[in-house]
Structure 1
Amino acid sequence: MARTASNRVAAGIPAAAGLTSRQREAIAGYFFVLPDALGLLVFIGVPMILALAMAFFDVDGFGGYRFVGIGNYQRLAADPLFWKSFRVTATYVLWLVPALYVSGLGLALLVKRTNAFNGLMRCLFFMPQMVSLVVVALVWQVLAVDKIGVIPRLVSALGLGSFSFLGDPQLALFAVIFVSVWFLMGFYMLIFLGGLQDIPSEYYEAARIDGAGPLQSFWYITLPLLRPTSFFVLIVSMVAAVAGAQTFDLVYVMTRGGPANSTMMTIYYIYQQAFQYNAFGYAGALASILVLALMGITIVLFVFTRGGRFNYE
Structure 2
Amino acid sequence: MSKSVKTALTGYLFISPWLIGLIGLTMWPILQSFYYSFTNYSLLDAAKWIGTANYHKIFTDDAMFVKSLTVTLLFVAVSVPLKLITALLVAMLLNKKVRGMSIYRTLIYIPSLIGTSIAVAILWKNIFGVDGFINTFLAFFGFQGKSWISNPDTALGTLILLMIWQFGSSMVIFLAGLKQISPDLYEASSVDGAGKWRQFFKITFPMLSPVILFNLVLQTIGSFQMFTQAFVITQGGPVNSTFVFAMYLYERAFSRFQMGYASALAWIFLLIIGAATAIIFISSKYWVFYETETEGRRK
Query: Shorter-chain TM-score: which interval?
Result: 0.7 to 0.9
State how 1:76-91 maps to structure 2 within 5 Å.
76-77=58-59, 78-91=61-74
Measured at CA, do residues 209 and 300 of structure 1 come closer, stay the same or move farther in structure 2, by a change above 3 Å?
same
Distance 2:158 2:287 in 1: 36
In structure 1, the partner of 2:127 is 143
4+ long deviations beyond 6 Å: 26-35
Deviation at 1:141, TM superposition (A): 0.8
Q: Which of the residues 137, 142, 146 maps onto 1:163?
A: 146
Query: Residue 62 of structure 1: SS of its match in structure 2?
Result: coil
In structure 2, the partner of 1:59 is 41
Q: Which of the residues 158, 162, 174 maps onto 1:192?
A: 174
Query: Residue 48 of structure 2: SS of its match in structure 1?
Result: strand
* Total equivalences in the alignment: 287
TM-score, length-normalised on structure 1? Answer: 0.84
Distance 1:302 1:42 in 2: 31
Measured at CA, do residues 298 and 30 of structure 1 come closer, stay the same or move farther in structure 2, by a change above 3 Å?
farther
- Structure number with the bigger relative contact order (C-alpha 8 A, sep ≥ 6) is 2
1:111 aligns with 2:94: yes
Distance 1:238 1:40 in 2: 24
Query: Residue 270 of structure 1: SS of its match in structure 2?
Result: helix
In structure 2, the partner of 1:269 is 248
Measured at CA, do residues 37 and 106 of structure 1 come closer, stay the same or move farther in structure 2, by a change above 3 Å?
farther
In structure 1, the partner of 2:261 is 282
Amino acid at match of 2:256: Y
Query: Residue 181 of structure 2: SS of its match in structure 1?
Result: coil
Structure 1 unaligned regions, length at least 5 = 1-12, 19-23
State how 1:228-243 maps to structure 2 within 5 Å.
228-243=210-225
Structure 2 unaligned regions, length at least 5 = 294-299
Deviation at 1:155, TM superposition (A): 2.2
Cα deviation, 1:231-282, whole Å, max 9, x if unaligned, reads: 1111110000001xxx211111101111111100001110111111101111
Distance 1:204 1:93 in 2: 34
Distance 1:28 1:217 in 2: 53
Distance 2:16 2:198 in 1: 46
1:303 aligns with 2:286: no
State how 1:120-139 maps to structure 2 within 5 Å.
120-131=103-114, 133-139=117-123
- Equivalent pairs: percent with the same residue? 30
Deviation at 1:85, TM superposition (A): 0.2
Measured at CA, do residues 226 and 39 of structure 1 come closer, stay the same or move farther in structure 2, by a change above 3 Å?
farther
